[in-house]
Structure 1
Amino acid sequence: MSAVWLMAALALAQPNPDFKLPALDASGSVTLAALPGPVLLNFWASNCLPCVRELPLLQAQSRRLPGLRFVGIAIDEGRRAAPFARKAGTAYVQLAAPGRQDLLRQFGNPLGALPYTVVLNGAHQVCTTRLGTVDAQWLERAAQACAAR
């Protein structure tokens, strides 16, 4: 059994996760269901050095992989996360989920460690995850495996 087939079978066996979270820029709330898939969710915190270090790569890849919608989810307090995201100049959607360890668990991260990245397929089913920093090669493979071309 191939790893891709196994990931697809596991994703189909689980219900599609969803959320409604406020945007860090205070422009309103965003639901996962309203985002066209495939979607990359990157959970981060402004006091997480690996999270901060991977941000420029995520910025660049969000422009390079237009078939994959990038969404940042800040787990720390909005009063810290919002200024950080503005200063970093993130070009993709940034949402606030302070203290939402349950959200991390919902997307397959029982440890609640950061950074954590999840790629959802077009039906918003978990396709692949990565605990720790991502690199360009991983993002490219994830985009291809989850049909974000």
Structure 2
Amino acid sequence: MRIAIASDHAAVDLKAELREYLIELGHEVADLGPETADRVDYPDYGYLLASVIADGMAERGVALCGSGIGISIAVNRNPACRAALVSEPLSAALAREHNDANVIAMGARLIGSDMAKACIDAFLATGFGEGRHTGRVAKLSNPPA
């Protein structure tokens, strides 16, 4: 699977670790930056990740910042993206099964690397449940005027 990963400065170390983990699992990974812990703005990287997902250049995304909140908000500004902020594997699996999430967001200051890897495993192993969820998910990309 092609997976895009992006962070802000607060999550650059976790991003590097998760990038290597995803490569070890056999995925093709697009690291969208940043490369250093120099201060950057999470919306810039969230918007970049969202555009890569929306353009079909990656099937899934991993978005990281200090809390995971800001970058998930930025990603979700793109109607083609459904980013879910998670902190444990059950919410990661439910985000896929019920919401067809295509981006997982996590907070580097709130989650350890082992838990982040467990969340990624659950996120990637779970399919969309379809059925009663399909109409609801369609509404996420088409809000009423």
TM bucket, shorter chain: 0.3 to 0.5
Larger helix percent: 2
Between the two structures, name the one with larger relative contact order (CA 8 Å, sep ≥ 6): 1
Larger strand percent: 1
Q: TM-score, normalised by structure 1?
A: 0.35
